[in-house]
Structure 1
Amino acid sequence: MEFPRDFFVLDFLITLPCILLSQADVYSPQYGIENLDILPSRLTSVNMSNVFYGIMFDAGSTGTRIHIYSFIQKGLEHPQVDSEIFESVKPGLSAYVDDPEQGAETVRELLDVAKQTIPSTHWHSTPVVLKATAGLRLLPEQKAQALLLEVQELFEDSPFLVPDDCVSIMNGTYEGILAWITINFLTGHLYGAGENTVGILDLGGASTQITFLPQAESTLDSAPKDYISSFEMFNNFYKLYTHSYLGFGLKVARLAVLGALDAKVPSSFQSCYTEVMKVIQKKLDQQDEIKRRTFYAFSYYYDRAVDAGIIDVEKGGIIRVKDFEMKAIEVCENFSKATKGSPFLCMDLTYITALLKEGFGFHDNTELQLTKKVNNIETSWALGAAFHLIQSLRSTA
């Protein structure tokens, strides 16, 4: 599967100097987030610092998050992320399936944070976009669109720049690739040779993603065709292995396992593992190469590791896959003492263990880098999406 054209824009982010658009250009409807035919011929370099902003909403299954980025570019240097403001509300938009107006109000609450953070002089040139993920993908289309319409009207009433397609449901493949871009940009791996890149594992409430850059031809040959996405970025050509498994997020899987157990909680690790295997066995593609690669894991991988005391809440850490299993056994066998108000910890750790070992095929001793932030920036797809958004609508004075 060829990677969508709209991601080629990331190559221009690094290789082109500042793009100057007139104010009329910026407000023109043709410059939508999905339209790449916007790059003007008027290119110029500047010798002064340029600070600009972008607002990216992540409407996930368990909550809605706002990422407010400030970017800085000095002369012809590469644009850099200067800072990020991150806030979130719960529950997610999908919880308001029968009350879309109230769902939009939760977004308004976060939009007010952007107004307080971004100088009013930059409001009119700061784009705002909301991308919904698996939570809305699982809703009936009509109900999902009703929610998105309410949010779009909210954005249009705001003082921020509202591009076409400012509110949409994001394809799961995009989600994994954008997260891969974020991690490798923040860790500095996009500027060098491709073999130095790192893979990503993202575990949400309704879906899970795996993305990495294969180095073995056997991976490219054996992977399902729609798991390989090709694109060019930063003067390099990439063929990524990436897939989003809808229905394999932590909370959806939890419901599936609870159904199998007739909602009997707690259970022993072995009995829980047996039921979890019924949910994931032979349902995920396995590639031998991942056992030798470096992976960053975040979202619920991180959160549940913190809850279990495996990693520090602020610093994260490097752990082995079997650390999840050892902690799962401990928690399940000492349920009343170990959970401390988290009744699903036994089940969640068991599911993560099975997902990594039996689902993806990682070895017990495979190391994972669990991290919530890199250089004080949240590890999610949002930064990759913000790069795309900013370049599409870039305006410099």
Structure 2
Amino acid sequence: MRQRGGAAAVSGGRAESISEKIQRNRGIILIISVPLLLVAFVLFLMPRSPAEPVLVGVGRKTMPGGGGDAGSKTYAVIFDAGSSGSRVHVYCFDKNLDLLPIGKEIELFVQKKPGLSSFAENPQEAANSLIPLLEKAEAIVPLGLREKTPVRVGATAGLRALGTEKSEQILQEVRDLLQDKSSLKSQPDWVTVLDGTQEGAFQWVTINYLLGNLGKTYSSTVGVVDLGGGSVQMAYAISEKDAVKAPQVSSGEDLYVKKLFLKGTEYHLYVHSYLHYGLLAARAEILKAGDGESSCILDGHRGAYKYGGNEYTASASPSGASFSKCRTEAVRALKVDEPACTHMKCTFGGVWNGGGGDGQKNLFVASFFFDRAAEAGFVDPKKAVAKVKPSDFEEAAKRACKLNINDAKATYPLVSDDILPYLCMDLVYQFTLLVDGFAVEPYQEITLVKKVQFGDAFVEAAWPLGSAIEAVSSL
């Protein structure tokens, strides 16, 4: 009697053993198993792709992409403690360091004025000013991930201008605040005054990351000018040949060229931060040159300007504001003809300009440049990006400088009362900075950027994203 299916047989009333089955079907097994073994052997011998390095911190070792199991999320909280205000950014990444949405947005971004430097005489009050931002940031991070989520505070030019003693007192209060009242992961050295070149480098990483340029040749990246309140940074990738030509700097000064390894590519990044030449600091530099009256202040305004713990007379000259006279004051403040320039070519204040090249041709200009352009009415404030020329700032400045304070108030409804007296000065300075300082041609097209499109979302074009990438990569 034979069972159907041939899977088993009865012989002499005894069930066939497994070894007997194998022996009887050895030919079929051999035919099936040999090809499978060959495929497995070939797969074993194939080279495996190493994990692609995503970021190296500025001048640091190669770091792999964010850790975690497939599908895991990693958060980072970054405070930008600028001279004009404090801002918090919360980012969420997948294991490949691609940004993931936080709710309906790609990031949490909240800001608050004034900045930490405004509390120079009360360090504890400075730290407490961050509490509302901290609470909103913590609420975004899932409870189970908070103790693993890095929180960093990067103070910029505003605190740098206060000097070491006062800035360190404020930073220590911030460290204590995070240690005592935050559930996020903090370390003392994560609360610091950012080096100006580090700020510029992070900004360059942010914009090129969002544009999808990292990993490409240096000539495929864009240059960045970031005009903050206390300082202005320029950063762009240069060739290795030009990097070798970088002038030597004195001990303690920032190097002109930083090496970065990003998505498997080495970049030589020219980056320089000009302290005292951010928009708010530059006002003080321009007013210093006057004798109590300025051709950059709108007619009808008399007052004082406070910056960095100092107060400057800020009153219009009897003849009112003048574009041409204000230009002269701005050029003088920039020290464009600084005799200390010992290099082949300088920007201003005796600083090497990096040599130019393909990495600088496509220039993205951020922060206060966008703000004033929107307030002056030559870019749409609702748009995240705008194509303009330096000459647009010149034309806007000429229009603003002709007005008295009352006419300007009616003409520029988007300009707040505290900015209005300085509108002529700000626009003249921005044009002068681009054309005389950075040698941008007046009719060269540049990109004003508030946010950069990333997939279907827009992300703030600010240095904290570059810092967040480094923080998550280091976990």
1:61 to 69, 83, 107: 83
| Aligned residue number for residue 150 of structure 2 | 127
* Alpha-carbon distance in structure 2 between the residues aligned to 1:254 and 1:325: 17
> What's the Cα RMSD here?
2.1
Residue matched to 1:277: 331
Aligned to 1:182: 206
CA distance in 2 between partners of 1:232 and 1:288 (Å): 21
Secondary structure of residue in 1 paired with 2:189: coil
Report the Cα distance in structure 1 between the residues aligned to 2:200 and 2:261, rounded to whole angstroms. 16
Asked if 1:12 is matched to 2:35, the reply is: no
In structure 2, C-alpha distance between the alignment counterparts of 1:289 and 1:219, rounded to whole Å: 11
Q: Aligned ranges for residues 11-160 of structure 1 at < 5 Å?
A: 11-14=62-65, 19=67, 46=69, 48-73=70-95, 78-82=96-100, 83-157=106-180, 158-160=182-184
Higher relative contact order (CA 8 A, sep 6+): 1
| Residue 324 in structure 1 maps to residue 372 in structure 2 | no
Say which is worse superposed, 287-296 or 239-248, in terms of deviation.
287-296
Q: Distance in 1 between matches of 2:331 and 2:441?
A: 17
Q: Distance in 1 between matches of 2:353 and 2:147?
A: 47
Q: 1:19 to 1:51 in 2, by over 3 A?
A: closer
In 1, Cα distance between the equivalents of 2:117 and 2:331?
28
- What is the deviation of 1:229? 1.5
Q: Is it true that 1:193 corresponds to 2:244 in the alignment?
A: no
Structure 1 residues 201 and 309 mapped into 2: Cα distance closer, same or farther (>3 Å)?
same
Q: Choose which of 432, 452, 469 in structure 2 pairs with 1:354.
A: 432
Question: 1: CA distance between counterparts of 2:371 and 2:231?
Answer: 15
Q: Secondary structure at the match of 2:391?
A: helix
Question: Does residue 300 in structure 1 map to residue 378 in structure 2?
Answer: no
How far is 1:221 from its partner?
A: 2.4
Give the AA of the match of 1:51. K
- 8 Å contact 1:13–1:391 — kept in the other structure? yes
**Alpha-carbon separation, structure 1, partners of 2:400 and 2:355:** 30
Kept after mapping to 2: 8 A contact 1:11/1:234: no
Q: Report SS of the residue matched to 1:160.
A: coil
Compared CA separation, residues 211 and 153, structure 1 to 2 (3 A)? same
Matched AA of 1:54: A
After superposition, where does 1:234-249 map in structure 2 within 5 Å?
234-249=263-278
TM-score by length of 1: 0.84
Deviation at 1:80, TM superposition (A): 0.7
Match for residue 285 of structure 2 among 232, 241, 256:
256
Partner SS state of residue 289, structure 1: coil
Write the distance in 1 (CA, Å) between the matches of 2:435 and 2:404.
23
1:391/1:216 CA distance change after superposition, 3 Å: closer
Task: Number of aligned residue pairs: give it.
Answer: 356
Amino acid at match of 1:386: A
Task: Write out per-residue CA displacement over residues 252-292 of structure 1, whole angstroms, 9 at most, x where no aligned residue.
Answer: 11012123232442210011111111111231544563696
Q: How far is 1:11 from its partner?
A: 4.3
Any gaps of 5 or more consecutive residues in structure 1?
Answer: 21-45
Partner amino acid for 1:312?
D
d(CA) in 2 for partners of 1:56, 1:350: 33
Inter-CA distance 57–364: structure 2 relative to 1 (3 Å threshold): same
1:368 corresponds to 2:392: no
Identity among equivalent positions (%) equals 33
Structure 2 runs not aligned, ≥5 long: 1-55, 101-105, 250-254, 299-320, 338-348
CA distance in structure 2 between the aligned counterparts of 1:338 and 1:328, rounded to whole angstroms:
12
* Partner Cα separation in structure 1 for residue 391 and residue 460 of structure 2: 26
